[in-house]
Amino acid sequence: MCGRFACSLCPNIIKNKVKESNIDITNEWVNEELFFPSFNVGPRKYIPVIRSTLNNEAIMQSMQWGFIPSWTKQYPDRQPINARSDTLIGSSIFDQSKNKGRCIIVAEGFYEWKVLKSGKKIPYYTKRKDGKLMLFAGLYALSHIDDKERYTCTIVTTDASSFFKFLHDRMPVILENNSSDVNVWISNEPWSKNQVNIMNSFKGELDCYQVTDAVGSTRNNSPDFIIPVDQLKGSISNFFKKEKDVSTTTKPLIMETKGIKRERTMDDDSSIVNLNDKKDIKKKQKITSFFNKQ
């Protein structure tokens, strides 16, 4: 499944990156003001979506994440954030949308939690290894509730790839940038084997690593959420890394305290001279010299 993702880019950067992915979108972004960039995008938030118009033009639009069927006249108790690929092959609440409401949801990467035998959940962040946008296959619908138009969407999921299975048994359908699959998916053509054949696990290279537990609450938002947990400032592993960096330096360390001067290098760890000892040595030399004269 996919219940949380990151999309921290501003609208202009998103549009430029989408065009770099060979998706010929117009400059229009419907309801752009509803989208707020975030490192921790959760359900019910407005997210960036690419869809085709009736004229087969690709446009950007902000839609609420959590699917509401077009025929619904009131808010449902359940708003699916994911649509399983196997349910789309048969009959489901997504029947109308899979024919006339296919879209692409834009992200930088997504989060998934690994469940340990103890029951503890560990968050992981997954992104493309090449740093390009993640393009999730999605479905959207236009409903009319309380005399108000509302566009909502869901992310299509499929069986996990061999790379991702250690973490979860399902993952988003990720469309390859610059591939024909992108245009086939958002086209206005009726549902067919062309779309079914697209709903496979991602074969490209991914990066997947553990991140901070702070991402667990959707109220939190920080760029730290997409940084490997062992690279965060203040982490245990980061502390030992710094200790290692200090211990390998060959630059002498000079410390002075109340008459004690200490100079230490990696080659000589015992070069410590007490200034008070130097004074005592000089006194002894003077006394010895006096008796010798006698």
Residues with catalytic annotation? Answer: 2, 112
Q: Is 208 exposed, middle or buried (0-12, 13-18, 19+ CB in 10 A)?
A: middle
214: Cβ contacts below 8 Å, ≥ 6 apart: 220, 222, 224, 225
Buried b (16+ CB within 10 A) or exposed e, 187-203: eeeebeeebeebbebbe
Angle at 79 between CA 56 and CA 35, to 5 degrees: 55
Rounded CA separation 183/53 (Å): 13
The CA distance from 137 to 172, in Å, is 8
DSSP secondary structure letters along 37-89: -EEEE-TTSEEEEEEE-TTS-EEEEEEEES---TT--S--S---SEEEHHHHH
Task: Please tell me whether residue 144 adopts helix, strand or coil conformation.
Answer: strand
